[in-house]
Amino acid sequence: MPRMTAARAAVEILKLEGVEVAFGVPGAAINPFYAALKASGGIRHTLARHVEGASHMAEGYTRAKAGNIGVCIGTSGPAGTDMITGLYSATADSIPILCITGQAPVARLHKEDFQAVDIASIAKPVTKAATTVLEAAQVPGVFQQAFHLMRSGRPGPVLIDLPIDVQLTEIEFDPEAYQPLPVHKPAANRIQVEKAIALLQESERPLIVAGGGVINADAAELLLEFAELTGVPVVPTLMGWGIVPDDHELNAGMVGLQTSHRYGNENFLASDFVLGIGNRWANRHTGGLDVYTAGRKFVHIDVEPTQIGKIFAPDLGIASDAKAALVLLIEVARELAAAGRLKDRREWAAGTQARRAELQRKTHFDDVPLKPQRVYEEMNRAFGPETRYVTTIGLSQIAGAQLLHVYKPRHWINCGQAGPLGWTIPAALGVAAADPEGQVVALSGDYDFQFMIEELAVGAQHRIPYVHVLVNNAYLGLIRQAQRNFDIDFQVKLEFENINAPELGVYGVDHVRVVEGLGCKAIRVTRPEELLPAFEEAKKLAAEFRVPVVVEAILERVTNISMAAADIDKVMEWEELAAGPGDAPTAIRALNA
């Protein structure tokens, strides 16, 4: 049998499991692994500036393409703890990433060695498995099991912690004899699917709620086929946005307290049956359950059995991978169609589109400073159906989800549950690394942008181009809006007069200079007519210089974005609504006022 260090065996397994890219930061306790990475070749490494950034890059890389598993690597102690936010974000959204950390020697684990921490215990609540490997001979099996766990059932992250002496120990390992473990996913059976279809057939105004699990299962085409076969309109969740193109006649709009469309909420409230596939009934989607569930029946299909009934009890729950369930749903629906027994849903579907043409928000504002709605209107003009949007949290994300358009799965890449500030830049770099020739557009408010701004240097160093739209109001906008309920405006202002950039007034940080100092390109926009030319120029600069290009839009200081406090039937519309087609010129359906 060939002999090699356990670290080299781990690297060989990564390649055999399909890993081509890794993100990380070397350090003393992980250097044997890095030595093996260099000696083995075949895995492209991107050096991050912060280990949390590396974990978010791995997330972006996984989310960008079916089958990808992002890998992030760090040394012992704080490198592992820095990755915890990335692991939490990945586990919350069912994203498989592998975190590999160095560790103090086995004999020193409980002796308060420099940068020694029980990272496996810390990471366990936010991973599918977290293991400190104490025996070198176990390394191949631990890595093999890690990939099996990440891909099986509900996908999620795994952490493997490698003491330095374990990495250096020689073991017997033959890469030619290695074989990945088979992936296990639960699958619906015929009886379950027939019962689901029966409930669908009994209804008059059904909807499909399509979640991120459909994208994780690479089943978007099947879901669209099922919707078209049955004529049932589809509500994508925020994590499922793009499963059905925004301009499709069966796209009923998004539902929720914040990232929702006016017509989406009204379509949902008019429904009497909901088939949820690969979704988790997130609270930002449902709002108060009394309103959300009243007067309608539910079927819930999810790959994780314990997800069924977690938020509310459906009329029928099915533990199944989305793809396996959809194959059977299509089979049964085809049989009914052939027998002439499928209900005609054309009138109901047409009603959902009528609401889309009647219930719109205004985007065309000529104000200076800019209103954010105009930024998204011009983004719709500048960035086409191939665009992959990347964003995390804040008023920028909420307004973006209300006003932008997405046409394909994995083209709205969003940190759905965790929402950590700073996620957007590194995640966008991960997405762009996975799709180097694609058009990647990130969206941030100024606070999210500043959290991990140093990662822009990674894009400059490794020539990873993308366009980053920065909407700057020098405020913690979402927190400011939430503080209205407490009648305060406290510790949420980022304003200050920058002595080195008096032309900015109270907008403080000179993002253009900072971005350029990090080796990237930047454009500042203050007037609405400048937005579209700036976006076009940014695309050219990204293509020419192969670096991130930031377009900073200087916004009015305070804009309240549409949202509700508790129930989806009580969304507060703070701004004037669209009254004619010219008020929302980039809407999918021209306004029928």
Instruction: Give the residue numbers spanning the domain of 354.
Output: 190-359
pLDDT of residue 3: 93
Mean predicted confidence (pLDDT) in 156-183: 97
**pLDDT (tens digit per residue) in 193-204:** 999 999 999 999
Domain assignment of residue 565, yes or no: no
Q: Does the residue 593 lie in any domain?
A: no
Strand order, beta sheet including 316-319: 234-236, 206-210, 273-277, 297-302, 316-319
Q: Which residues pair with 299 in a beta bridge?
A: 275, 316
Residue-wise pLDDT tens digits, 430-468? 999 999 999 999 999 999 999 999 999 999 999 999 999
- CATH number of the domain that residue 546 is part of: 3.40.50.970
Mean pLDDT calculated for residue range 563-588: 94
405 and 537 together in one domain: yes
Same domain, 394 and 353: no
Residue 326 CA to residue 223 CA, distance in Å, equals: 7
Q: Which of 124, 92, 420 is nearest to 282 (CA)?
A: 92
State the sign of the Cα–Cα–Cα–Cα dihedral 448, 452, 456, 462.
negative
Domain assignment present for 583: no
Nearest to 519 by CA among 540, 541, 548: 548
Q: Is residue 592 one of the residues assigned to a domain?
A: no
Mean pLDDT of 222-250: 97
384 and 274 co-located in one domain: no
Residue 516 belongs to some domain of the structure:
yes
Sign of CA pseudo-dihedral 360, 361, 367, 368: negative
Q: Is the pLDDT of residue 314 over 90?
A: yes
pLDDT-above-70 percentage for the chain: 100
Q: Is residue 572 part of a domain?
A: no
Do 82 and 208 belong to one domain? no
Model pLDDT, residue 592: 83
Strands (E), 68-189: 70-74, 97-103, 129-132, 158-163, 170-172
Where b means 16+ CB within 10 Å and e means fewer, 472-502 reads: bbbbbbbebbeeeeeeeeeebebeeebeeee
Among residues 307, 334, 359, which one ends one of the domains? 359
**536 lies in the same domain as 411:** yes
Per-residue confidence (pLDDT) for residue 593, from 0 to 100 = 64
| pLDDT, mean over the chain | 96
pTM for this model (two decimals): 0.96
Domain boundary among 329, 359, 389: 359
DSSP assignment, residue 111?
T
**Residue 68 DSSP class:** -
* Residue 420, preceding peptide bond in cis (omega within 30° of 0): no
pLDDT at 463: 97
Assess whether 127 and 212 both reside in one domain. no
Which ranges constitute the DSSP H helices of 74-154? 78-82, 84-92, 119-123, 139-151
Q: Residues 315-330: pLDDT tens digits? A: 999 999 999 999 999 9
Q: Tens digits of per-residue pLDDT, 17-36?
A: 999 999 999 999 999 999 99
Same domain, 248 and 318: yes
Helix axes of 372-382 and 531-545: crossing angle, nearest 10 degrees: 50
Q: Identify whether 315 is part of a domain.
A: yes
**390 and 344 both lie in a single domain:** no
For residue 111, is pLDDT > 90?
Answer: no
Residues 353 and 249 sit within 8 Å (Cβ to Cβ): yes
Domain count, the chain: 3
Same domain assignment for residues 271 and 345: yes
- Structural domain includes residue 339: yes
Residue written as token pair 């592998």: 98
- pLDDT tens, position by position, 282-308: 999 999 999 999 999 999 999 999 999
Phi-psi region for residue 80, left (φ > 0), alpha (ψ -120 to 50) or beta? alpha
Assess whether pLDDT exceeds 70 at residue 7.
yes
One domain for residues 168 and 248: no
Give the pLDDT of residue 112.
Answer: 78
pLDDT reported for residue 341: 96
Q: Using an 8 Å Cβ cutoff, are 519 and 462 in contact?
A: no
Evaluate if residue 1 carries a pLDDT over 80: no
- Note the pLDDT of residue 479: 85
| Confidence band, pLDDT 50/70/90 cuts, at residue 114 | confident
Same domain, 77 and 211: no
pLDDT category at 118 given cuts 50, 70, 90 is very high
Domain shared by 206 and 147, yes or no: no
| pLDDT tens digits, 549-571 | 999 999 999 999 999 999 999 99
Question: Contact, 392 vs 423, CB < 8 A?
Answer: yes
- Looking at the chain, the whole-number percentage of residues with pLDDT higher than 90 is 94
Q: Known catalytic residues? A: 25, 51, 421, 476, 479
pLDDT of 347-391, one tens digit each? 999 999 999 999 999 999 999 999 999 999 999 999 999 999 999
Q: How confident is the model at residue 108 (pLDDT cuts 50, 70, 90)?
A: confident
CATH number of the domain bearing residue 342 = 3.40.50.1220
